[in-house]
Structure formats: C-alpha cells, structure tokens
Amino acid sequence: MILDTFRSIIAIKDLRRKIIATLLLVLVYKFLSVIPIPGVNTNGLSAIIEGQRGLSFFSALMGGWLENFSIILMGLSPYINAVIIIQLLGVIVPRIWDMQKEGEQGQRKITKITRWLTLPIAFLQSYGMIILLNSLAGGNIINVSDMTTVLTAMTIATAGTIFLMWLGEVMTEYGISNGISIIIMAWVLSAVPGTIMGYIATAQYPLFAGLFLATFAIIYVIIKFTEGHRRIPIIYAKTGGEEKSYFPIKINQAGMIPIIFSISIVTFPAILGQILSNTTGGNAKAVGDILQTYFSMQNPSWVFISIYFALVLAFSFFYVSITFNTEDVAENIQKRGGYIPGIRPGEETANYLQKVSNHLNLFGGWFLALIAVLPYILWKIMGQSVDLIISAAGLIIVVAVILDLIRKVDGEMKMFDYSKYK
C-alpha cells in the first residue's frame, strides 16, 4: 500500500517537481552549513558547543549551525525575532493592525517590512554571537581587536541569514510546504543519527530502548493533540429546507509558533549572561553570573522552567488572538445565511466562538507548554539530563511539519484526480 501511494505521488508531474525542488533546496541548506566564515579558527568549537546545551538547542530550533562557525550560524533567528516584533507592534500600531486584517495584500506588505527589519537585527545579532562564541573558546576563534575581520564576519553572517530567509521563501513558492518550517525540521532531524550513535557507542542499550519507545509515545500524543478539534454545528437556510454543517476549531490553533517564539526569548538571558560572565569583573560579571544561574539550560532552574512555560502559554493566546478573528467568521456565516443553533447571528455568534476558542486554547496552550518544559522537569526530578531521540519541542515541530506535508500531498493528489476527470 505504501509502495502504491509512493508510485501515485511520483506519477504526478507537478507534485514530483515540487518534491524534487524541496529536496534540492534542503541540500543547498546543508551545503551552506559546512561553509565556515573566512578568517576564523574552528578547531575545538564543536566540543565547546556540545557542552553549551542552551546555545545548541537555540541553534537547533532556529536552523543555525554553530559547530563550524558556518556562514548561516545564526539560522533564521533574526527573521523570527523580526516576525515577533511585527506581531507585537500590530497590537499597538494601528497601521500594522490594519495591514494584518487586509488579507493577502496586507500580508505582502507585512512580509516586506519583516524582511527589511531582519537586516539590522541580523547585523546586530551577528556581533553578539561572534563575541559569545569567541569568549567560549577562550578568544581563539577570531581576533576581535581587528575590526576589519569582525565586520567582515558580521557581514557574511548577516548575508547568510538573509540568503537563508530567501531560500525558505523560494522553498515555499516552488516546494511542497512552508520553507521556513522545512529548514527548521531539517536541522532537528539532522541531529537524530548523532544522538542514536551516542547511545550505541556508550552501550546504553536499555536507556536507548526506553527513550526510543518514549519518543514514539510522545509522537502519538502530539499527533492526537495536533489533529484534535471541536466541531461547531452550523445550520444554513436552503430552498426547501435546511443544511447542517460544521465549523472546526482546533485544540492546538497556534501550532509550533509559540515554542519557537518562546525559545528565542527565554534563551536570550542565558546568552547575555555568558557574554557578561566572560568580562573582567565588576557589576557586569555579577549580573552575568546571576543570569546564568537562573536561565542556564545546562542546569535549568525552576525560574527558567516557569518563565518558559508562561511564555509558551502567553504566545499561544497572543498568536491565536491575531490569526483567528471571530468577528470575521461570524460575519461570513451570517452572510451565507447560517447560524449556530441557540445562538443569535452576528455579535452573539462572535462572542460564542471567542469563548470556545479561549477554552480550547487554554487546554492546548497548557499541553504545548507542558510538552516544552517536560525534559527540564524530568531533569530536576531525576537530577540528570534526559535526552529523547528528538527533543520534545523538536517533536512538536517535526510532527506539525510532517502533518502539513501529508495534507499538502493529499491535496495535490486530489486536485490531480479532479483535473483528470474534469
């Protein structure tokens, strides 16, 4: 059956072209990851990054490559930060809020603004990342006293991020799914063979088997959670009678976005703390030590876990409040002559949908936040790191992207069958 499905997919020319384009662009991304920034010494950097759990985790969820000081070392982090800033500005800046409600045309304007905002963020962030990695390596990576060398490295790293952003957009246009998500998933999955070989090399077979089963159990729960929804009954008045339909509201309405947004914020204090701790002394070093104590992912505190949990929950509500406009949904239902049984059309329908959405989002946000912090809670309870084959946050991203890929492929196949018999 699987083989027949694969043959059916390959037989569709347009779908085959999109899959090949996606794979080729992922290969380009992998090729970029092995190109180091010129003028840097990467000896021993991999071992240093491996010991910096928080930094490597942040890099993984942003699609960056720190191990060899790659030209895409920052990944999509500046772009994601720009998206967060624009989303937040939409709440307080009426013009941006209006653009968010203008549909496709407004989204194109927001995308253009986000691209331009990514540029200065990437340039500033590249300096912080270069200084951080250099300080972790004892100053052996790059000569920070030579501003020409530093500015060259900053420019190349910024160009790498901009190119990666463009690559994601090209992948979205010509590939099979969202390019940004595909890039992040590619990084997450690339770490799986190394994790597996690590357990095999140390002969930790019982632990590996247990974590393997636990990983699949969490995947099953995440799939059920991601695909779960509540169907709101809607009745449409038709000539000669009534037609019953449903409006689905997903439990996980925000998808993987809250985790990506939250991790980009919660890791910043630890990164800043590492930079400040490597200063010569004084108040800066003291502040850096405090930040590392409470926000370190190598030894997570309950403060870090609590803030991470709260951010995921908050971003779940914030993102849904922007993307799910109950007033527009209620208006569309009313225009089509529909109504929810027992609920008056218009404002009452919008309020009812908002209430249902908030209840589902509360459950979904809590579940999403719990999955995100679960490894750190186990760490605190057991007193040692517990690494799944794929991190819990990474699993949510991978599952979301794969489910989207399945839907896209299924949609393409249905369109092909329709066009064949049209």
119: which 2 tokens?
A: 């540029």
Q: What is the pLDDT of residue 38?
A: 82
Q: What is the pLDDT of residue 47?
A: 62
3-state secondary structure 213-241: HHHHHHHHHHHHHHHCEEEEEEEEEECCE
Best CATH choice for the domain 228-387 from the list 3.40.50.720, 3.30.930.10, 1.10.10.10, 1.10.3370.10:
1.10.3370.10
54: which 2 tokens?
A: 């928080």
Q: Which of 207, 311, 211, 210 lies closest to 268, judged by CA?
A: 311
Q: Which of 184, 139, 130 lies closest to 401, judged by CA?
A: 184
DSSP-assigned beta bridge partners for residue 241: 238
Q: If you search the block for the tokens 């709440």, which residue do you land on? A: 91
6: which 2 tokens?
A: 């694969």
Domain 1-190 coded CATH 1.10.3370.10: yes
Distance of CA 387 to the CA centre of its chain: 19
296-316 exposure pattern, b = at least 16 Cβ within 10 A, e = fewer: bbeebeeebbebbbebbbebb
What gap in Å lies between CA 119 and CA 125, rounded to an integer? 10
Q: What is the pLDDT of residue 421?
A: 41
What residue segments make up the domains of the chain, in order of their start?
1-190, 228-387
User: In degrees to the nearest 10, what's the CA dihedral of 120, 124, 130, 133?
Assistant: -120
**E strand or H helix that includes residue 409:** helix 392-421
Q: What is the pLDDT of residue 63?
A: 59
56, 49 contact by CB (below 8 A)? yes
Distance of CA 139 to the CA centre of its chain: 32
What gap in Å lies between CA 105 and CA 98, rounded to an integer? 11
Q: What is the pLDDT of residue 112?
A: 87
Given this chain, do its domains 1-190 and 228-387 carry the same CATH topology? yes
Q: What is the pLDDT of residue 162?
A: 92
Q: If you search the block for the tokens 């000081």, which residue do you land on? A: 69
Q: Tell me which DSSP letter residue 253 carries.
A: -
DSSP sequence for 336-390? TTEE-TTS-TTHHHHHHHHHHHHHHHHHHHHHHHHHHHHHHHHHHHHSS----SS
DSSP-assigned beta bridge partners for residue 339: 235
Q: What is the mean pLDDT of each run of 10 residues along the chain (422 residues)?
A: 67 80 88 82 66 58 67 83 81 76 77 89 84 72 79 89 90 84 81 74 75 81 82 78 80 79 78 69 76 75 88 86 80 82 84 88 86 80 67 77 81 65 44
Distance of CA 16 to the CA centre of its chain: 26
352, 339 contact by CB (below 8 A)? no
**E strand or H helix that includes residue 12:** none
